């Protein structure tokens, strides 16, 4: 077989391995090793794996992953999520559908200090869903708005997916963070408009008239108590994002400062016992190691593809097909959304980016804009069956047999449609993604 044929077979075997239950990282490493063996020799393949593992994560930059994960975990146990929801519940209590809007707003703010959608889904399932159901909102809408708005955690900086894309594309993580601000705001605004539209046009999908009009909502907060609750959130956001965008910190240093700040908040609030601290550290280790292992596997996979000539051949093939940049983008987005139905977000990026990024560059596409589009398209997979990580996270955190997986998927469907609409807007208007990054 030619080198190109070996590359094609390697991709097929890798996808087959994932389909039959092989871990994505193991599938990437095994198929890459075997492919290099076939192209060169066993000795070269062994050195290839060793060199890729050594080069993949030795850079100081990769410290940003465990640090931001640790910050997110500490924020989750400190009660900041509940306080964020309480503040927005009080602010929006008189607006029709206000609790749904409060959930979206709280998720957007919480995303700015976590960067992990699963953390948002877990926290607000326990905080917002019981509150909305108690006030007369339908269970389907309650879980749908939590799962739907949790995806903001992967777009609004700091974002784990933005970090991974920046690493794969060799693009500044700071620029990727900045690029996610406006698209994140647009997506949050889209969700808010969706809720208000549903509240007026299809109120039966959301809840009772009393719930929609805020009659049942209590005003337990006062301006002073709301401000006090919001201070720790505001301080942490200013510390991390302000320091990062102001040029005081590198992304890694910002992660360290954020983790330290989250630790102080948790200690001051007396929410962190030795047992909880150990659980946070262990969970941080699990998440960080799994992500870093996948990055090592992706580096090996990317180098294997380059060795077989696959990216150049795919680029030439698409160019000769005459699809053009718009045709390529439509096909790419469709494939990413389809993959989101069967595999997780990080895996999609690790598989697709090494293949498609050279093509995007050939068409003259902005790498930062392409990254934002990729993250939004990948996020849709968090809500689509049968995989839907955010949906299963909500189900696990809720622990209510009366609300089925089907109910949660049905509740998220309007939010999937809104995400598709926002994705189309971001594709048509690249400036929304690149304007702040170029300043």
Running DSSP on this structure, what letter comes out for residue 242?
Answer: I
Q: How many CA atoms does the CB half-sphere of 120 hold within 13 Å?
A: 33
Overall pTM > 0.85: no
Split at pLDDT 50, 70, 90, the class of 428 is: very high
Residue 85 pLDDT: 78
Split at pLDDT 50, 70, 90, the class of 246 is: confident
Average pLDDT of every residue of the chain: 81
Split at pLDDT 50, 70, 90, the class of 211 is: low
Neighbours of 173 (CB within 10 A): 23
Residue 257 pLDDT: 86
H helix runs in 202-323, sequence order = 209-212, 223-237, 243-245, 251-268, 274-308, 310-321
Give pLDDT tens digits for 317-365: 666 676 778 888 988 898 888 877 767 777 788 778 888 888 888 888 9
Alpha-carbon gap, residue 321 to 235, rounded angstroms? 53
Q: What is the CA radius of gyration of the chain?
A: 22
Q: What is the mean pLDDT of residues 24-34?
A: 82
Residue 326 pLDDT: 87
Is 314 a residue whose pLDDT tops 70?
no
> In degrees to the nearest 10, what's the CA dihedral of 191, 178, 245, 124?
30
Split at pLDDT 50, 70, 90, the class of 423 is: very high
- Collapsed DSSP state (helix, strand, coil) of residue 61: helix
Residue 110 pLDDT: 77
* 307 within 8 A of 36, measured Cβ to Cβ: yes
Residues 6 or more apart in contact with residue 129 via CB below 8 angstroms? 139, 142, 143, 146, 394, 398
Q: What is the 3-state secondary structure (H, E, C) of 10-31?
A: HHHHHHHHHHCCCCHHHHHHHH
H or E stretch including 152?
none
Q: Which two tokens mark 16?
A: 């087959």
Q: Which of 169-183, 210-224, 229-243, 381-395 has the lowest mean pLDDT?
A: 210-224
């Amino acid at each position: 077989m030619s080198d190109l044929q070996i590359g094609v077979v390697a991709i097929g075997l890798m996808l087959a391995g994932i389909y039959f239950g092989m871990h994505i990282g193991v599938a990437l490493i095994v198929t890459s090793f075997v492919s290099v063996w076939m192209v060169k020799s066993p000795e070269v393949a062994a050195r290839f794996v060793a060199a890729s593992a050594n080069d993949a994560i030795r850079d100081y930059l990769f410290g940003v992953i465990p640090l931001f994960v640790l910050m997110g975990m500490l924020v989750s146990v400190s009660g900041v999520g509940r306080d964020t929801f309480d503040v927005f519940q009080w602010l929006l209590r008189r607006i029709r559908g206000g609790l749904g809007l409060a959930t979206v707003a709280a998720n957007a703010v919480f995303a700015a200090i976590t960067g992990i959608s699963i953390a948002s889904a877990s926290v607000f399932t326990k905080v917002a869903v019981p509150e909305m159901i108690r006030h007369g909102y339908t269970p389907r809408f309650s879980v749908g708005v939590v799962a739907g708005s949790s995806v903001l955690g992967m777009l609004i900086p700091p974002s784990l997916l933005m970090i991974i894309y920046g690493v794969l594309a060799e693009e500044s993580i700071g620029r990727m963070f900045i690029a996610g601000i406006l698209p994140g705001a647009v997506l949050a605004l889209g969700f808010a408009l969706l809720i208000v539209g549903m509240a007026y046009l299809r109120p039966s999908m959301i809840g009772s008239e009393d719930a929609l009009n805020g009659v049942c909502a209590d005003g337990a907060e006062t301006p002073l108590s709301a401000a006090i609750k919001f201070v720790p959130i505001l301080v942490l956001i200013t510390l991390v994002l302000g320091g990062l965008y102001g040029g005081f910190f590198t992304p890694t240093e910002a992660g360290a400062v954020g983790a330290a700040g989250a630790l102080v908040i948790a200690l001051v609030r007396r929410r962190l016992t030795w047992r909880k601290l150990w659980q946070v550290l262990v969970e941080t280790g699990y998440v960080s190691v799994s992500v870093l292992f996948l990055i090592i596997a992706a580096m090996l996979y990317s180098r294997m593809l380059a060795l077989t000539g696959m990216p150049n051949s795919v680029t030439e093939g698409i160019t000769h097909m005459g699809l053009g940049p718009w045709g390529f983008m439509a096909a790419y987005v469709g494939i990413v959304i389809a993959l989101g139905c069967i595999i997780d977000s990080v895996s999609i990026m690790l598989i697709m980016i090494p293949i498609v990024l050279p093509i995007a560059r050939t068409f003259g596409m902005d790498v930062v804009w392409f990254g934002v589009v990729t993250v939004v398209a990948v996020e849709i997979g968090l809500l689509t069956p049968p995989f839907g990580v955010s949906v299963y996270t909500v189900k696990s955190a809720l622990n209510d047999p009366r609300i089925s997986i089907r109910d949660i998927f049905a509740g998220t469907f309007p939010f999937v449609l809104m995400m598709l609409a926002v994705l189309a807007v971001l594709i048509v208007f690249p400036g929304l993604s690149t304007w702040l990054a170029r300043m």
